[in-house]
Amino acid sequence: MIFLFKRLMPKYSVIGYLADASQVLSISRETLQHVSRYRQFAPWASEAGGQLFGTINAAKVCVTEASGPYAGDERSRHQYRSSPTAAQRAIEDRHKRGLLYLGEWHTHAEDYPSASGFDDDAMRSLIANSQLNSNALLMMIVGRARSAEGLAVWSVSSESARQWILSAELAET
Ligand SMILES: [Zn+2]
């Protein structure tokens, strides 16, 4: 059983590009392993989610860590909302370690995830109601398919949602 569980964990990281920008997205293997634990394989499994952390500069967005889910989240088969207090605590904790809050992640009970209208609205209201340094946040949706096809990532701002083109990269170790 432990062997099987390990086998399902990604051994790769993910690199992303936008069609109209030179900035690169990198999602660490650790981040992928964290979110993969919550993929909705079981027919009764609820959505899970949390926050994404890392570093950002003009050339590269690096997602190095994911947090959540938390006790007190709102979770159902087709909806997820983080407990605001738990999310805030996670953000402050990572901030002390020099990691920036970069956005949100949650799972979908579908192989190849697409964003629901609810997801777009939730991201826009998050951006409108938060005091962020940046005006865009990442939204990552984790589907059931393995490899990069099971992931979808957008950069969401108040004006637009741009999807990253993802590919898997073998991790060094
Ligand atoms: Zn969703």
pTM score, whole prediction: 0.91
Report residues near ion ligand 1: CB below 5 Å.
116, 119
pLDDT in tens, the chain (173 residues): 455 555 567 888 999 999 888 999 999 999 999 999 999 999 999 999 999 999 999 999 999 999 999 999 999 999 999 999 999 999 999 999 999 999 999 999 999 999 888 898 888 888 887 766 567 899 999 999 988 899 999 999 888 889 999 999 876 65
Cβ proximity of 124 and 161 under 8 Å? no
Alpha helices in the chain (DSSP H): 2-8, 29-36, 84-96, 117-129
Measure 70 CA to ligand 1 centroid, in angstroms: 17
Measure 173 CA to ligand 1 centroid, in angstroms: 32
Tokens of 13: 């990281």
Name the burial class of residue 15, with classes exposed (0-12), middle (13-18) and buried (19+) by CB atoms within 10 angstroms of its CB.
middle
How many Cα atoms sit within 13 Å of 155 on the Cβ side?
19
Cα dihedral value 68, 74, 77, 79, nearest 10? -90
DSSP character at residue 38: T
Measure 118 CA to ligand 1 centroid, in angstroms: 7
Measure 117 CA to ligand 1 centroid, in angstroms: 8
